[in-house]
Amino acid sequence: MDTPVEDRTATQDAARIGDLITPALLLDRERLDRNIRRLASRARDLGVTLRPHVKTAKSVDVVRRLFPDGPGPITVSTLAEAEYFAGHGYRDMIYAVGLSPASALRAMQIGRRSGADIRLLLDTVEQADALAGIRSATGMAGSVLIELDCDDHRGGLKPDDPRLIEVAERVVASGWTLAGVLAHAGESYALNTPEALERAAENERQATVHAAERLRSHGHACPIVSIGSTPTAHFARSLEGVTELRAGVYMFFDLVQHGVGVCAIDDLAISVLATVIGTKPEKGWVLVDAGWMALSRDRGTASQPVDQGYGLVCDAAGRVFEDVIVAQASQEHGILTVRPGSQRKLPDLNVGDRVRILPNHACAMAAQHEVYNVVAGTRPDIEARWPRIRGW
């Protein structure tokens, strides 16, 4: 008789972590809620609207914890997210990726079907001119923000660039509304001291406010002044002139943010549960069934003072094994070792034991999975399963 193939969906009834087929994505609800409260409190104290970036979570069950009283303003990074969250009642969105004619057309179609206001992002005259064609094709005109480059990180116009005014004028000429300006201090990820992060936050604020003032001096209302990265959101001392704050990975945090100095290891809310499948004592290795397909290939800590490999290793309850990392990863295998230079020893792990692996980059790790297995602290029970979306 043929042996039946195990159906992974059978584990959806698993009541405890030990019953899960691995690798599996875990989400600690207690840490998630604590992280959410932390930034919400900062935004209130700084007097700005918090517009969370949902690209990390990609799950309405997570985002509902951000807005317990009903849908609020969000930032999305894909139009799949926009469509998904619009279907769950979220109406106020910024699509924070530079528009193409195809993406602008799709965004307007999503807005027409759902009633969502999806503001788009641009930084060139060519994009602004394309808006007229979108209006003709859909019979609709929406609103856009101009992306600013505040720290040479990626796209956007410098606040003093003469093209800033030209782009604004072309937007208006296309029959669209200029809603404001948006910046992202991405270079803050390369910093690691409070003083440097405070300077980056203030630079981001000054650059964005200056651009808004330039636009207003040319007759553009510029009601939205939007800034945000997780590091600068947590280290800004003043947001005078800013209207809203964006951040995303703060909900979960990760080892990169820990290396920057934004969070403690105890704040990291997601991990991948893996099973020990072999040992090589002569090499100082423990093999697990989680490779880069489960952990992602993101090696964001490689350029930081402490390289965390493909992730920091914990026991099954989430307690960190000091200096034990996933040093190597192939598609479905991870190799645990002690960090080079450490005098610690590998924990006594045997085939069948479970470990949790903390993420270099929470967005990338979560993107490898379709569901969060929700837990609370060191307790072994699975409280819920929250689906997440993928794709563009």
pLDDT for the residue 162? 96
Q: What is the mean pLDDT of residues 121-145?
A: 96
- How does pLDDT run across 349-358, given as a tens digit for each residue? 999 999 999 9
- How does pLDDT run across 166-181, given as a tens digit for each residue? 999 999 999 999 999 9
Q: What is the mean pLDDT of residues 40-46?
A: 98
For 210, phi then psi, to 5°, come to: -60, -45
pLDDT for the residue 368? 98
Q: What band does 12 get if pLDDT is binned at 50, 70 and 90?
A: low
Separation CA 152–CA 204 (nearest Å) = 11
* 71-98 exposure pattern, b = at least 16 Cβ within 10 A, e = fewer: bbbbbbbbbbbbbbbbeeebbebbbbbb
Sorted by where each begins, the domain ranges of the chain are 14-26+263-387, 30-252
* Contact by Cβ (8 Å): 270, 28: yes
Separation CA 287–CA 274 (nearest Å) = 10
- Whether 3 shows a pLDDT value over 90: the answer reads no
pLDDT for the residue 6? 43
- Whether 134 shows a pLDDT value over 50: the answer reads yes
* DSSP string for residues in 107-136: HHHHHHHH--EEEEEE-SHHHHHHHHHHHH
CATH level 2 (architecture), domain 30-252: Alpha-Beta Barrel (3.20)
pLDDT for the residue 153? 86
CATH level 2 (architecture), domain 14-26+263-387: Beta Barrel (2.40)
- Whether 19 shows a pLDDT value over 90: the answer reads yes
- Whether 246 shows a pLDDT value over 50: the answer reads yes
Give the CA-trace dihedral at 343, 346, 348, 349, to 10 degrees: 170
Separation CA 78–CA 97 (nearest Å) = 8
Q: What is the mean pLDDT of residues 30-48?
A: 98
Q: What band does 7 get if pLDDT is binned at 50, 70 and 90?
A: very low
pLDDT for the residue 118? 98
Q: What band does 273 get if pLDDT is binned at 50, 70 and 90?
A: very high
Q: What is the mean pLDDT of the chain?
A: 96
Please identify which residue in the block is written with the tokens 């914990």. 314
Q: What is the mean pLDDT of residues 145-171?
A: 96
Q: What is the mean pLDDT of residues 56-84?
A: 98
Pull the structure tokens for residue 304.
């930081």
Short-list 294, 369, 378, CA closest to 59: 369
Q: What is the mean pLDDT of residues 42-54?
A: 98
- How does pLDDT run across 309-342, given as a tens digit for each residue? 999 999 999 999 999 999 999 999 999 999 999 9
Separation CA 46–CA 29 (nearest Å) = 26
* Distance spanning both ends of the chain, measured CA to CA: 43
pTM: 0.95
pLDDT for the residue 2? 43
Separation CA 249–CA 191 (nearest Å) = 16
Q: Is the dihedral of CA 332, 62, 145, 254 positive or negative?
A: negative
Q: What is the mean pLDDT of residues 368-375?
A: 98
Angle at 252 (CA atoms; ends 103, 344), nearest 5 degrees: 130
- Whether 232 shows a pLDDT value over 60: the answer reads yes
Please identify which residue in the block is written with the tokens 């039946």. 4
